Structure 1
Amino acid sequence: MDYAKTVRAAAVQISPVLFSCEGTTEKVLDAIATAAKADVQLVVFPETFVPYYPYFSFVQPPVLMGKSHMQLYEQAVTVPGPVVDAISQAARSASMVVVLGVNERDGGSLYNTQLIFDADGTLMLKRRKTTPTYHERMVWGQGDGAGLTVVDTACGRLGALACWEHYNPLARYALMAQSEQIHCGQFPGSMVGQIFADQMEVTMRHHALEAGCFVVNSTGWLTPEQKLQITSDEQLHPVLSQGCYTAIISPEGVPLCEPITEGEGMAIAELDFSLITKRKRMMDAIGHYARPDLLQLQLNQQPWSVMQLTTPAAVAAPEVMPLTDLEPIPLTDKLPL
Structure 2
Amino acid sequence: MGIEHPKYKVAVVQAAPLWLDLDGTVDKTIRLIEEAAENGAKLIAFPEAFIPGYPWHIWMDSPAWAIGRGFVQRYFDNSLAYDSPQADKLRSAVRRSGLTAVLGLSERDGGSLYLAQWLLGPDGETIVRRRKLRPTHAERTVYGEGDGSDLAVHDRPGIGRLGALCCWEHLQPLSKYAMYAQNEQVHVAAWPSFSLYDPFAFALGAEVNNAASRVYAVEGSCFVLAPCATVSQAMVDELCDRPDKHALLHAGGGFAAIYGPDGSSLAEKLAPDQEGLLYADIDLGAIGVAKNAADPAGHYSRPDVTRLLFNKTPARRVEHFSLPVDGEAAAETVAPTS
- Give 1:114's match in structure 2, choosing from 102, 113, 117: 117
Instruction: Give the secondary structure class of the aligned counterpart of 2:227.
Output: strand
Report the CA distance between 1:124 and its aligned residue. 0.5
| Amino acid aligned to 1:176 | Y
In structure 1, the partner of 2:8 is: 7
Instruction: Give the secondary structure class of the aligned counterpart of 1:259.
Output: coil
Q: 1:93 to 1:25 in 2, by over 3 A?
A: same
| Amino acid aligned to 1:184 | V
In structure 1, the partner of 2:192 is: 188
Distance 1:175 1:206 in 2: 14
* Normalised TM-score (structure 1): 0.89
In structure 1, the partner of 2:285 is: 274
CA contact 1:43–1:97 (8 Å) conserved in 2 = yes
CA contact 1:212–1:284 (8 Å) conserved in 2 = yes
- Give 1:132's match in structure 2, choosing from 118, 135, 141: 135
CA contact 1:193–1:243 (8 Å) conserved in 2 = no
CA RMSD of aligned residues (A): 1.8
Q: 1:73 to 1:35 in 2, by over 3 A?
A: same
Stretch moving more, 126-135 or 260-269: 260-269
Instruction: Give the secondary structure class of the aligned counterpart of 2:248.
Output: helix
Give the number of equivalent residue pairs.
317
CA contact 2:17–2:25 (8 Å) conserved in 1 = yes
* Normalised TM-score (structure 2): 0.89
In structure 2, the partner of 1:29 is: 30
Report the CA distance between 1:102 and its aligned residue. 0.9
Q: Deviations over 1:45-99 (max 9, x none)?
A: 1111111111111102112111211111111111132222112111111111101
Q: 1:243 to 1:197 in 2, by over 3 A?
A: farther
Report the CA distance between 1:316 and its aligned residue. 7.4
- Give 1:251's match in structure 2, choosing from 261, 270, 273: 261
In structure 1, the partner of 2:149 is: 146
Q: 1:157 to 1:2 in 2, by over 3 A?
A: farther
- Give 2:212's match in structure 1, choosing from 190, 198, 203: 203
- Give 1:161's match in structure 2, choosing from 160, 165, 169: 165
1:16 paired to 2:14? no
In structure 2, the partner of 1:213 is: 222
Instruction: Give the secondary structure class of the aligned counterpart of 1:124.
Output: strand
| Amino acid aligned to 1:224 | Q
In structure 2, the partner of 1:229 is: 238
CA contact 1:43–1:98 (8 Å) conserved in 2 = yes
| The structure with more radius of gyration | 1
CA contact 1:228–1:234 (8 Å) conserved in 2 = no
Gaps of 5+ in 1: 318-337
Report the CA distance between 1:231 and its aligned residue. 2.2
Q: Deviations over 1:76-129 (max 9, x none)?
A: 111132222112111111111101111111111111111000111111010111
Stretch moving more, 133-142 or 188-197: 188-197
Gaps of 5+ in 2: 329-338
1:85 paired to 2:94? no
Q: Which structure 2 residues correspond to residues 280-295 of structure 1 after superposition, within 5 A?
A: 280-295=291-306
Distance 2:45 2:248 in 1: 25
Distance 1:140 1:69 in 2: 11
Report the CA distance between 1:152 and its aligned residue. 1.9
| Amino acid aligned to 2:167 | C
Stretch moving more, 129-138 or 209-218: 129-138
| Percent identity of equivalent pairs | 33
Q: Deviations over 1:169-218 (max 9, x none)?
A: 11111111111100101111042336410011110110000000000011
CA contact 2:154–2:163 (8 Å) conserved in 1 = yes
Distance 1:208 1:282 in 2: 14
